Amino acid sequence: MNDANPIIERLGAVFVENFHIEVPTADTDLFGTGILDSLQLVELLLQLERRFGSRITIENIDLDDLRTLARIARLVARTAQAAPRTARPPSSEIRQGTANQERNPSGTPAMTTG
């Protein structure tokens, strides 16, 4: 699959790795061709959550959103935009916090007992 869209490429990899199926094009009808069945649909939703952080509930799904890789990619992008971002400190703050830990004479973090 030579699609420039990185989400579609990652979705293609999901199908190869989890379903052992290479989807011919980003616009192939996954239901019409029988590539995706109801059991695989559940696994696909799990993989979307694991790989993209896109938690998609059954209540919020229109099956047409899952009909092609291109549509799934749009759904993943929409879900990612709508999801609240979890605040993470920049890596420089994490390194600073480690540097500011109490140290013993050998330079390794000191063990403290409570």
Identify the pLDDT of residue 113.
Answer: 54
Q: Give the CB-side neighbour count of residue 77, counting CA atoms within 13 A.
A: 11
| 112 located within any domain | no
pTM score above 0.75: no
| 105 located within any domain | no
Identify the pLDDT of residue 105.
Answer: 52
CATH number reported for the structural domain that contains residue 69 in this entry: 1.10.1200.10
Identify the pLDDT of residue 84.
Answer: 56
Identify the pLDDT of residue 111.
Answer: 52
Kindly report the backbone phi and psi dihedral angles of residue 109, in degrees, each rounded to the nearest multiple of 5, phi listed first: -55, 135
pLDDT along the chain (114 residues), means of 10: 73 96 97 93 92 81 92 89 52 42 50 52
Identify the pLDDT of residue 60.
Answer: 76
| 64 located within any domain | yes
